[in-house]
A and B are shown apart, each in its own frame.
Chain A
């Protein structure tokens, strides 16, 4: 039976009005602007773009403001927005080798061509709260040095020259690129779909999964071969124009994880790889992604797949925080009718139980 419950409209309207007031907070405090969020909370914006799966700093900043800083709510808002726009097509694959690098470190080689470039990093800070930031802090101008024009090849390319590391799998001729925003997920899933899933996956979930591989649940001996962050150019083959049109540039973080060997009777042993790529400066995310990408290759590499991080159905079905939050949070919506039937069933079971326990006492009580 369907029972319509009315009477919530005014409460809902007033709750949203209260939310808007709480979101604004104390009105004697200046309102935060989208530029302020984009410029001063840049890494939050990067995360919302990555997991919202939409590169647009201004929209991500708006979502963060609207969500009162709740990043998963902001990601939800961005995902909902993307459904309102038509898709023009897909870009040419970006060339991370040609990145204008702002940060680039390798934990495998000290002397990499192009050098170790720290860029803007929290690494080596003491993690002490800085009271100077509490008000009116004006930072020193960044130091400058002569920029070298030397190329910064990917560390994996250097290892690849000597055959010490497996090469990246190439696309087969005419193969289409899987898109999980268009087709429902099926298992087993190919690497392109897995990487798309991980790229928009929840950072916390991937961090925990990656961490679990380091702690022994699917161990694969990782080294951070290279982490690079910077700007890459985007090109789009526009049919109306007839050639690849430059669209501008985006910021990306890439992580190349170098892992322990594979080899066989016919193939010399070599390092294996895990790959991470995400919008903005998202180092923890891409490192976790690379660990999980490598773990998910267990079957392909003939490894025993017993750990959660090696189980693609488990990882891919639970990595999306918008899906996850939707299902967890729907529990707070009215389930009155469902609950009534459960309650009815429980009462019946309890009655049967007490009847069986003490039929005489029940009879007396009933009378």
Chain B
């Protein structure tokens, strides 16, 4: 595998992990990390709250426009082994941003990448999928089934 492919693979893996973590509660992530013997790490950037301007597109698929802002919390963590992880999440939960940053750093680490995926990301992904499946099933029950009425007495 060449370096570029490796880099892209790792980026895709980090994005996929972040996509799951952003949907979890801080408490859920913390609970999954509790059984870990975590490597030494430090805050590279303490949790910080701010805003991101959310954009839509004209007509859904045209030029972008500014729809309105959202609160976002972010943090960065560095492992003693050098990996730097970033955490970004909607909302104002700085602890959640820090936990995401820690997980992002672990995902990149040779020693912890696989086990974090197995014990943290995968179970949280499964929970997320269950919630989504439930919501999709409830929505599906409200789908209209049109049928044609037969008029008259045949």
Contact = CB atoms under 8 A, between A and B. Distances in A.
Interface of A: 49-50, 53-56, 58-59, 82, 85-94, 96-97, 100-103, 110-111, 115-120, 142-148, 154, 156-157, 167-171, 175, 177-181, 191-193, 195-196, 199-200, 233-234, 236, 238, 240-241, 243-250, 252, 254, 256, 273, 275, 277-279
B61 A179 contact: no
Contact of A56 (B15, B70, B142): B70
Contacts of B66: 90, 177-181, 192, 196
Nearest to A143: B141
Contacts of B57: 93-94, 96, 168
A177 B65 contact: yes
A167 to B, nearest CB: 8
Contact of B139 (A93, A101, A156): A101
A252 B54 CA distance: 11
B132 to A, nearest CB: 7
Nearest to B20: A246
B70 A93 contact: no
Contacts of B23: 248-249
B56 interface: yes
Interface in B45-99: 49-72, 74, 76, 86, 88-92
Given A100-B135, A236-B72, A238-B88, A148 B55 contact: no
Interface in B112-154: 132-144, 146
B19 interface: yes
26 contacts: A54-B71, A56-B92, A58-B92, A85-B49, A86-B50, A87-B51, A88-B50, A89-B52, A90-B55, A93-B57, A97-B60, A116-B143, A142-B138, A143-B142, A144-B137, A145-B143, A157-B61, A168-B59, A169-B59, A177-B64, A191-B65, A196-B68, A248-B22, A248-B91, A249-B23, A279-B67
B18 interface: yes
A324 to B, nearest CB: 18
B72 to A, nearest CB: 6
A277 B56 contact: yes
**Interface SS of chain A:** mixed
Contacts of A178: 65-66
A92 to B, nearest CB: 7
B11 interface: yes
B86 A85 contact: no
Interface in B1-48: 11, 14-15, 18-19, 22-23
